[in-house]
Chains A and B, each alone.
Chain A
Amino acid sequence: QVQLQESGPGLVKPSQTLSLTCTVSGGSISSGGYYWSWIRQHPGKGLEWIGYIYYSGSTYYNPSLKSRVTISVDTSKNQFSLKLSSVTAADTAVYYCARGGYSYDVDYWGQGTLVTVSS
């Protein structure tokens, strides 16, 4: 069974860059057929898709975050990563990594990690 696990700092200072990594187990990122996503949830709010990456490296970013987001993949470590620059308190959220498929499904999710932006 595929499992995803987010890791990274739980506290980031304003104006700095938020960096998270998602480690995938039970399946290979480079096997193809899937896209690897970052999704966030502000406290007590709904879900927001940040973007995704294919194993080939091609990406899609939410237009509202595009100028600040970079998603990359490291197939040798079976990981993909998120960088969000120039963060503010509005970026405080639970960040999830998830797997999406070519059937337009998002099936497996990580447990999520809370990132707080504060000085």
Chain B
Amino acid sequence: QTVVTQEPSLTVSPGGTVTLTCASSTGAVTSGYYPNWFQQKPGQAPRALIYSTSNKHSWTPARFSGSLLGGKAALTLSGVQPEDEAEYYCLLYYGGVEGVFGGGTKLTVL
């Protein structure tokens, strides 16, 4: 069974920069896994941020960016705001068909 792994938790100071990563049990993550990133706040549905590694939706704030880093998908937040405190999930596609979510990263802004 395919497992997608994220950091369980990270802490960042307001105005700082933080990078969240997303790894696959099958090996290095490439653009062919079309990494997606979502933000979820308590009691809310997930909100899409990034698709196909680095593409932003029209509503995605400029401080969010996606990339590939050291064989993983990565989400970088630059100039973190208090409202960025949330759970972040990555999604990888396998064979272009099966989507598997990571376990999520709880980001604390402190």
| Chain B positions within 8 Å of A103 at CB level | 51-52, 55
Q: Which residues of B contact A89 (CB under 8 A)?
A: none
Q: Which residues of the partner chain B approach A96 to less than 8 Å between Cβ atoms?
A: 45-46
B side interface size, CB within 8 A:
25
A49 to chain B, nearest CB (A): 5
User: Which among A47, A63, A104, A110 is the interface contact of B52 at CB below 8 angstroms?
Assistant: A104
Tell me, yes or no, whether A74 is within 8 Å of chain B by CB. Answer: no
Cβ–Cβ contact B45 & A109, under 8 A: yes
Q: Name the interface size band of chain A.
A: 10 to 19
Complex contact A106–B102 (CB within 8 A): no
The CA of A96 and the CA of B46, in the complex, are separated in Å by 9
- Check if B101 sits within 8 Å of A109, measured CB to CB: no
B109: Cβ under 8 A from any A Cβ: no
Per the bound structure, the CA–CA distance linking A59 and B85 in Å amounts to 35
B110 at the interface (CB under 8 A from A): no
Residue of B nearest to A62 (CB): B98
Within 8 A of A (CB), among B69-100: 89, 91, 93, 96-100
Closest to B50 in A: A105
Please measure, in the bound complex, the distance between the C-alpha atom of A63 and the C-alpha atom of B104, giving whole angstroms: 21
A residues at B contact (CB < 8 Å)? 46-49, 60, 62-64, 96, 103-112
